């Protein structure tokens, strides 16, 4: 049986620990016991961890040998995808964040767009800690060695300033008949470096926003003939990009 994976909050030598709510889930919800074994991601490797002490806010592990997985020893090293995701209704947006994490996105940047509801935009900064928990839990569930980075929300015109410097290929999704399909766009680009995808809110990017993307050198692409919900578009785009770049 495959052991459950946990991403350590603290690592010192041959000891690792989960702390806070992270530890409470294992100790109180899953009712772990001293002596149980799990796979522990320590940042640069996966090691077998045996629980040595448990409290409601701290679980410590003695780290043993490195674990090697025949199918996925380095599942998310490449390619790297940054998803710039416009803020929309939180329950659906958080579902997209969770699923894109499971698929393998490298980082997520929430973006305050013109069509983002004002009350959601105002509340977004306070959701950042929750989003960090979501990506960590989704990473553990999908057996990633580390969660994706999730940035604090930014306004659209601040986006280029927080993108990775090596994200030389930047694609904005805009459902228009004249736009080339996403897969074709990526295959036509030199994509050895990181790729950035921008997915708009419900209703899509406003005209002025699309003009800004074009001015900043982004390439407009389509996902096809149907109109997708924002969360569906984010997941499909991430999956298509990962497949096109493998």
Give the pLDDT confidence of 199-224 residue by residue, as tens digits. Answer: 999 989 998 999 999 999 999 999 98
Domain count, the chain: 2
Contact indicator for 41, 4 with CB cutoff of 8 Å: no
Question: Is residue 95 situated within a structural domain?
Answer: yes
Whether residue 232 sits in one domain with residue 141:
yes
Do 236 and 126 fall within a single domain? yes
Q: Are residues 39 and 141 in the same domain?
A: no
pLDDT range class, residue 71, cuts 50, 70, 90: very low
In a domain, 72, yes or no: no
156 closest CA partner among 100, 110, 220, 105: 110
pLDDT of residue 107: 95
Residues 47 and 137 in one domain: no
Do 42 and 103 lie in one domain? The reply is: no
pLDDT at 10 over 60: yes
- Does 46 lie in the same domain as 100? no
- 28 is in which domain, residue-wise? 5-66
Average pLDDT taken over every residue of the chain: 88
Which are the contacts of 111, defined by CB distance < 8 A and separation ≥ 6? 84, 85, 86, 87, 153, 154, 155, 156, 159, 198
48 with 102, same domain: the answer is: no
pLDDT at 234: 96
Domain boundary among the residues 36, 66, 96 is at: 66
pTM of the predicted model as reported, rounded to 2 decimal places: 0.82
Compute the 3-state secondary structure of the chain and give helix, strand, coil in percent, each to the nearest 5.
35, 25, 40
């Amino acid at each position: 049986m495959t052991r459950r994976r946990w991403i350590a909050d603290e690592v010192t030598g041959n000891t690792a620990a989960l702390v806070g709510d992270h530890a409470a889930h294992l100790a109180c919800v899953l009712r772990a016991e001293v002596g149980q074994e799990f796979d522990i991601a320590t940042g640069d490797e996966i090691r077998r961890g045996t629980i040595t002490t448990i409290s409601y806010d701290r679980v410590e592990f003695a780290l043993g040998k490195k674990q090697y997985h025949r199918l996925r020893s380095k599942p998310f090293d490449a390619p790297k995808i940054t998803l710039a995701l416009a803020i929309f209704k939180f329950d659906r947006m958080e579902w997209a964040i969770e699923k894109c994490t499971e698929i393998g996105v490298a980082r997520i940047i929430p973006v305050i767009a013109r069509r983002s509801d004002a009350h959601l935009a105002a509340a977004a900064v306070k959701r950042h800690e929750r989003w960090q928990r979501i990506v960590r839990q989704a990473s553990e569930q999908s057996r990633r060695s580390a969660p994706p980075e999730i940035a604090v929300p930014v306004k659209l015109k601040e986006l280029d300033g927080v993108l990775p410097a090596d994200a030389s290929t930047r694609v904005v999704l805009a459902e228009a008949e004249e736009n080339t399909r996403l897969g074709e766009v990526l295959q036509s680009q030199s994509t050895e470096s990181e790729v950035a995808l921008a997915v708009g809110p419900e209703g899509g990017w406003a005209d002025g926003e699309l003009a800004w993307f074009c001015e900043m050198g982004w390439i407009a692409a389509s996902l096809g003939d149907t109109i997708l919900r924002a969360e569906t578009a984010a997941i499909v785009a991430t999956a298509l990009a990962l497949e096109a770049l493998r």
